[in-house]
Amino acid sequence: MGWANHAKEALSRGERVQIRPHGNSMIPKIYSGDLVTLEPCDPEKLEVGDIVLVRVSGNDYLHLIKARDGERFQIGNNRGKINGWAGKSAVYGRVCSVERRKN
Q: Give the start-to-end residue ranges of the domains of the chain.
A: 2-99
Architecture of domain 2-99: Ribbon (2.10)
Chain segment 49-99, per-residue pLDDT in tens: 999 999 999 999 999 999 999 999 999 999 999 999 999 999 999 999 999
Q: Does the pTM of the predicted model rise above 0.85?
A: yes
Q: Report CA-CA distances (Å) from 41 to 27, 29, 47, 79.
A: 23, 19, 11, 24
**Angle at CA of residue 61, ends 94 and 25, nearest 5°:** 105
Share of the chain above pLDDT 70, in %: 98
Dist CA 35 CA 58 (whole Å): 25
